[in-house]
Structure 1
Amino acid sequence: MGIDEFFANLWSDYVASTPQAEKIKQAFEAKGERVVNDHVAFRTLALEPIRLKALEPHLLAVGYTPYEPYDFAAKKLSAYGYLPPEPDMPRVFLSELRVDELSDASAKILRGLAEQVDAERVKDPSILWSGRLWDPVSWEDYQTLLAESEYAAWVATIGIRPNHFTIAVNYLEQHAGVEEVLQTVEGLGYKVNDSGGRVKGSPDVLLEQGSTLADRMMAPFADGQEREVPTCYYEFAKRYPTPSGELYPGFVAQSADKIFESTNVAKSGS
């Protein structure tokens, strides 16, 4: 599979559960802006057969190279950034939840989900836009996960798919910074994630980021009922040049920590 087809599949899956992204993209394009994707991100569990290292080969197969690891101790997450084969292609951010660091109750639930995944399916690149690969969780189990880890609850109901795409502010001509982008997005009627401030990061750390709050959709649960849960969000990033003159290629863990909260239940429901 070529890289263009790879990202076309990701975008198609993403906007199906995140209609705000298509509308925001179209609104910027209607203003004459060139919308370029800065990066796309995925979430998974540090469990076989879907741990980070099991998904990574699909990125390597389309030309990506590992760049830098990241650790989010409070959220019990490990992550890796990946650089594209060409500078104007999107970067990738892949994270996993360290299930072994959770309570026995939460870990047992998540292990039960991972055990349902067909290891052969993980070998196909479509795993990255496959969604939920296990039976619906019970509402009780969802609440158990939610109380300990919003990330865990999200993966349990949404599965493996891109949780955000990102507009590269550097390519915009009418929006000088992330705050200007956020104001335009709010003008379209969408709420932004203000955890840690509306704009995370600064020129000092060579990266500024902001995001919407996640869309919501109805998801099935084990009792046969459907309930509304957060899906995915749209991010906006501006990169600053390194001393060598190239735009900073990585991510800032402190900022990403707050960006994760774009899918928090209380926030997306407000």
Structure 2
Amino acid sequence: MTLETFFAQLWDDYIAMTPQAQRIHDAFIADGETIINDHVAFRTFDRGPITLSDLEPHLLALGYTRYEPYDFAAKKLRAYGYLPPADDQPRVFLSELKCDELSDSAQRIIDALVAQIDPARVATPDVMWAGRLWDAPSFEDYQALMAESEYAAWLAIIGLRANHFTISVNQFRTYDSVEKVLAKVESLGLGINESGGRIKGSPEVLLEQGSTLADRVEFTFAGGQVEKIPSCYYEFAKRYHGTDGTLYQGFVAASADKIFESTDIRGDRHAG
């Protein structure tokens, strides 16, 4: 699979789950901007056949190289950033939940989900947009996971797919700051994740980020109960040059920690 095909398929799945993304994309194109994707992020469990180490080979086969590790102690996550084979291709951020740090009951819920995965399904790169590889959980199990980890609850219902795409603000001419981009997005009637501030990071740490609040979609849980839950969101990033004159390539853990909250079902409190 070529890198172009990989991201085209990933984008198609993403906008099907995230209608706001196409609206935002088209609005900036209509205003004469060029959209380059800064990075794409994925979530997974560290259990079963879909651990970070199970999924990483698909990225490496596409020419990516592992760059930096990250740890999010409060959210019980570990992650790696990956650099693309060419500068005009997006970076990748792949995180996994440290399930051992959850309660025994939460681990049993997750183990029951990942036990349903056919390992052969993970052997091809299209697993990265396969969605849920297990039966829908009950609403009670979803709530139990939510009480301990929003990340776990989200993953249990949304599955493997791009959690978000990210527009590179560096390529914009008119909307040349993250704040200008967020203002434009708000003018479309969309909410902004304000956890930790509208803009996470700063020129001093060489990266500024902002994001929308995730779209809400109707989901049918086991037993037939239907609830609206968060799906995916759109992010915006501006990178700065370091003292060595090179453009910063990594991620800022403190900022990413707050970006994760774009899918928080309680995230509406951040809308202001």
Matched, 1:220 2:220: yes
Report % sequence identity.
63
| SS state at 2:193 partner | coil
Query: Matched residues in 1 for 2:198 and 2:98: separation?
Result: 28
| Match of residue 190 from structure 1 | 190
> Partner amino acid for 1:60?
L
1:216 and 1:268 in contact (8 A); partners too: no
| Match of residue 181 from structure 1 | 181
Alpha carbon RMSD of aligned pairs, Å?
0.9
| Match of residue 108 from structure 2 | 108
1:214 and 1:268 in contact (8 A); partners too: no
State the TM-score, normalizing by the size of structure 1: 0.98
Query: Matched residues in 2 for 1:226 and 1:247: separation?
Result: 46
Gaps of 5+ in 1: none
> Partner amino acid for 1:39?
H
Task: Give the number of aligned pairs.
Answer: 270
1:39 and 1:93 in contact (8 A); partners too: yes
Query: Matched residues in 2 for 1:176 and 1:139: separation?
Result: 43
Query: Matched residues in 2 for 1:201 and 1:134: separation?
Result: 37
> Partner amino acid for 1:228?
K
> Residue deviations 1:215-241, cap 9 Å, x none?
011112111222211000000000000
Query: Matched residues in 2 for 1:87 and 1:242: separation?
Result: 17
Per-residue deviation at 1:88? Answer: 1.6
Per-residue deviation at 1:268? Answer: 4.7
Query: Matched residues in 2 for 1:232 and 1:93: separation?
Result: 15
Query: Matched residues in 2 for 1:53 and 1:220: separation?
Result: 31
C-alpha distance 214-268 of structure 1, shift in aligned 2 (>3 A): farther
| Match of residue 149 from structure 1 | 149
1:18 and 1:231 in contact (8 A); partners too: yes
Gaps of 5+ in 2: none
Q: Which runs of 4+ in 1 moved over 4 A?
A: none
State the TM-score, normalizing by the size of structure 2: 0.98
Query: Matched residues in 1 for 2:80 and 2:2: separation?
Result: 22
